[in-house]
Chains A and B, each alone.
Chain A
């Protein structure tokens, strides 16, 4: 069902939703942006609807809501191992179609890869509902259309924010109760981005030719990439983590096992005790990431991993263009194969 809500009615809806949900959305942080005198847009809990930024892309994805940056897996006290008491809060996340598709990639890894779903992720994920922010304009570095992630259907509500009015589609019936019968019903079908300024040619090969792994094209990234991992942390689909145990400074008999985001660009990701490690140069790490995003994942799960949000390119301090790299790779593969 679809409704048209004026500002005041939307505020009322928001207040009602806040009774039942913690609401997360892209928010503005004064002058925290990448460039001088720019603001940072990132995800955080939203108190008022006016805080939600509709007309700019967030620098970071909503990944941290679904998959916390650091999470305690266990508390250790002498002989006992305790799981943290599960948080029962329900969460409502305002996000764009690319991010909805990205979270499906996280679901695939944490719930479907292998035979054992991750219980921490599963528990948190069950409490989350999605409000799709209609997204019809393409921002800098976006290439969702090339990655076929410009459209999404896995949402509970969708919203078009207009001047002084909001159109709302409710797909999940559990939200119907927030809409009073006297609100005006309208026809509203969310629209999607149909064209990006950046177009990427994705290699459609099933098998990466062996020569690609050692190809010269990766050498440029050897020196340009500084292994800061910003591309990974900004990415909605990067799902890797590392676990680490700690004990408390003032009581070494108690401690925790935690997991924290980890990533393939950052030093130490493959280090094993005894001194063996893999992909020591940053060019190999770029190659590993790119092939994972546009080949390896597809081969295993049948859809592309990368959703084309372009946040890797938004955040790279060395101005590496991942989208450029994909197109270049396609060209190199074509040349190698012909």
Chain B
């Protein structure tokens, strides 16, 4: 009998770190390293299944940063170090890392969109020689929503980093207030075509951030985005993530913007 691709496997939670009031990062035992930018179907039997991108990769483990906003994620948030959860995957294409060799990269992430790019940034933090330059631009709603604050502090030492909040709420001691799009101007772009922009975040943030880079002369082909849709299967059957002729689970979640911009829901 053929293998059942829907069968989830149990994985032990090694560690849970609370990031914000709603988000925690779960470090999970996993011996098969996924590609950067891929995702897993995470499930709790009897509760449900959800697609979650990988927010960290290390020897024998992966991180997943999960926001407590739905039925399954609420249950995951009740788990601790002694618990197991169930995974299928990894799924999706991931970032075309080979292509980035020697490139100038700029990463713009909004809110929990920072989760799928964290392993990529961490990879270049560990291997800075692989790229010519890496610029980081992160935006969150308020100071309380900032994810991976310690990582961002660390990354600042190697990469030009802008951290902004939409609303300082009177408690923000950082330099920048405003939407990510307002700081696109500040990124020093390379003249050469060896420049790639990676944008991850909510659909509206991707749209306007891409437009801001395009206004600065970056072509759609030079912009890479990662998309999120509802999914039930992760393997191209359930139809939830189909847009145009593409399935986000199979052909994405990482797309070149010249393709992504044509995909109208």
Q: Using CB atoms and an 8 Å cutoff, list the residues of chain A in contact with chain B.
A: 73-74, 76, 79, 81, 83, 86, 109-110, 113-123, 210, 213, 239-247, 252, 254-257, 259, 262, 264, 269-276, 278-279, 284, 288, 291-292, 296-297, 299-300
With an 8 Å Cβ cutoff, the count of chain B residues facing the other chain is 47
**Which of B67-75, B95-103, B120-128 faces chain A?**
B67-75
Q: Is the interface of B mostly helix, strand, loop or mixed?
A: loop
CB pair B2–A117 under 8 Å, yes or no, is yes
A113 to B45, CA, bound (A): 26
Also in contact, A242 and B5, with CB within 8 A (given A262-B238, A270-B240, A296-B244)? no
A177 to chain B, nearest CB (A): 27
Across-interface contacts of B58 in A (CB, < 8 A)? none
Across-interface contacts of B236 in A (CB, < 8 A)? 109, 113-114, 116
- Closest residue on chain A to residue B262 by CB atoms: A210
Interface residues of B in 203-230 (CB under 8 A from A): 203, 228-230
Q: Which of A83, A109, A120, A243 contacts B49 (CB 8 A)?
A: A243
Also in contact, A272 and B247, with CB within 8 A (given A81-B8, A117-B2, A123-B1)? no
Q: Is the interface of A mostly helix, strand, loop or mixed?
A: mixed
A-B contact pairs, 6 of them (CB 8 A): A119-B2, A120-B6, A243-B232, A256-B46, A262-B239, A273-B69
Across-interface contacts of A288 in B (CB, < 8 A)? 265
- Closest residue on chain A to residue B45 by CB atoms: A76
A102 to chain B, nearest CB (A): 15
Give the 9 A-B residue pairs with the shortest CB-CB distance, closest first.
A273-B70, A240-B239, A114-B236, A255-B46, A278-B265, A76-B45, A299-B245, A113-B236, A116-B5
Across-interface contacts of B169 in A (CB, < 8 A)? none
CB pair A242–B232 under 8 Å, yes or no, is yes
B238 to chain A, nearest CB (A): 5
Across-interface contacts of A83 in B (CB, < 8 A)? 4, 7
A271 to B2, CA, bound (A): 32
Across-interface contacts of B60 in A (CB, < 8 A)? none
Across-interface contacts of A121 in B (CB, < 8 A)? 237
CB pair B46–A272 under 8 Å, yes or no, is no
Q: Which of B2, B48, B229 contacts A270 (CB 8 A)?
A: B229
- Closest residue on chain B to residue A255 by CB atoms: B46
A337 to B71, CA, bound (A): 47
Q: Chain B 73-97, CB within 8 Å of chain A: the 1/0 string?
A: 1000000000000100000000000
Across-interface contacts of B247 in A (CB, < 8 A)? 113-114
Across-interface contacts of B229 in A (CB, < 8 A)? 270, 272, 278
CB pair A241–B237 under 8 Å, yes or no, is yes
A252 to B233, CA, bound (A): 24
A255 to B47, CA, bound (A): 9
B260 to chain A, nearest CB (A): 14
CB pair B265–A245 under 8 Å, yes or no, is no
- Closest residue on chain B to residue A256 by CB atoms: B46
A259 to B235, CA, bound (A): 14
CB pair A245–B240 under 8 Å, yes or no, is no
A304 to chain B, nearest CB (A): 13
B114 to chain A, nearest CB (A): 15
**19 further interface pairs, Cβ-Cβ under 8 Å (given A81-B45, A114-B250):** A114-B236, A114-B237, A114-B249, A123-B1, A213-B264, A239-B237, A241-B232, A245-B43, A245-B44, A255-B45, A270-B240, A272-B228, A272-B230, A273-B70, A273-B71, A274-B69, A276-B228, A292-B242, A297-B245
Q: Is B168 close to A, CB under 8 A?
A: no
Across-interface contacts of A239 in B (CB, < 8 A)? 237, 239
CB pair B235–A116 under 8 Å, yes or no, is yes
Across-interface contacts of B34 in A (CB, < 8 A)? none
Q: Which of B7, B67, B228, B237 contacts A81 (CB 8 A)?
A: B7
A122 to B239, CA, bound (A): 18
Q: Which of A122, A210, A274, A278 contacts B70 (CB 8 A)?
A: A274
Q: Which of B4, B7, B70, B232 contacts A259 (CB 8 A)?
A: B232
Across-interface contacts of B86 in A (CB, < 8 A)? 81
A282 to chain B, nearest CB (A): 14
Q: Is B188 close to A, CB under 8 A?
A: no
